[in-house]
Structure 1
Amino acid sequence: MTMGERLKELRLKRNLSQEEVARQLGITRSAYSHYEINNRQPVYETLIKLSDFFGVSVDYMIGGGHSRGAPQVTPEAIEIIRLLDDMDQEKRQKSLDKIRDAIRQAD
């Protein structure tokens, strides 16, 4: 699968338009469209933004060997990781314990 095909697949899974993705990345819709149809390759910085936005690795984006079964990280999971990363160890552990308890109670 090409990078363009992966970009399109990831975008459609989230029900987003090319315009919406481009706006979130700070690029033109035309530039993003060229990535999806493999007419152009994004520069390194844009590739990182794309992988962060879609919650996948750069390796996955460029068609690396780990493409099949690559975990899909939701925006919510990324937000939780960022919040936990900003905490000291004690607060992080308490927060993880609360998350685990909430998950157990939800089951």
Structure 2
Amino acid sequence: MTMGDRLKELRQKRSLSQEIVAQSIGITRSAYSHYEINNRQPVYETLIKLAAFFEVTTDFIIDGDTRGNDAQVSADTIEIIRLLNKMDDDKRKESIDKMLEAIRES
């Protein structure tokens, strides 16, 4: 099974259109369509967004690997990514800096 096959299967299991997936992760439907038919591969940032959106690991999308915590991403991680995606570049950087600071302090 290819990456495109896995993306299509994940989308169809949720009864979603390509348009909904694309809008949710901030790309065009056409770009997403190319991923499903294996004409293109997503860049790293888009791959992370896809994994968060579908609540799976990047490894699962890339090669079907389900060893990493059952291919599931935590709900908190998904929420953080969704919130970051809604921010402009400056706010996103500021938020990431604050999270990194909090991690260093713990």
- Same fold per TM (> 0.5)? yes
Q: Deviations over 1:6-28 (max 9, x none)?
A: 00000001000000000001100
**Match runs of 1:18-97 below 5 Å:** 18-66=18-66, 70-71=70-71, 78=75
Aligned partners of 2:51 and 2:61 also within 8 Å: yes
Residue identity matched to 2:3:
M
Q: Deviations over 1:52-88 (max 9, x none)?
A: 0000001101015437xx4556xxx6159869xxxxx
Q: Which runs of 5+ in 1 are unaligned?
A: 84-107
**Aligned in 2, Cα 1:25/1:82: closer, same or farther, shift over 3 Å?**
closer
Q: Distance in 2 between matches of 1:48 and 1:80?
A: 11
Pair 1:37–1:10, CA change in 2 (3 A):
same
| Structure 2 CA distance for partners of 1:64 and 1:5, relative to 1, 3 Å | closer
Misfit runs of 4+, over 3 Å: 70-73, 79-83
Structure with greater Cα Rg:
1
SS of equivalent residue, structure 1 residue 42: coil
How many residues are treated as equivalent by the alignment?
Answer: 80
- With the length of structure 1 as denominator, give the TM-score of the two structures: 0.64
Describe the shift of the 1:79–1:18 C-alpha distance in structure 2 as closer, same or farther (beyond 3 A): same
- When the two chains are superposed, the root-mean-square deviation of aligned CA atoms in Å is 2.7
Partner residue, 2:3: 3
Question: Any conservation in 1 of the 2:6–2:64 contact (CA below 8 Å)?
Answer: no
1:19-56 Cα offsets, whole Å, 9 max, x none, are 00000011000000000000000000000000000000
> How far, CA to CA, are the matches of 2:65 and 2:78 in structure 1?
25
- Give the gaps of 5 or more residues in structure 2: 81-106
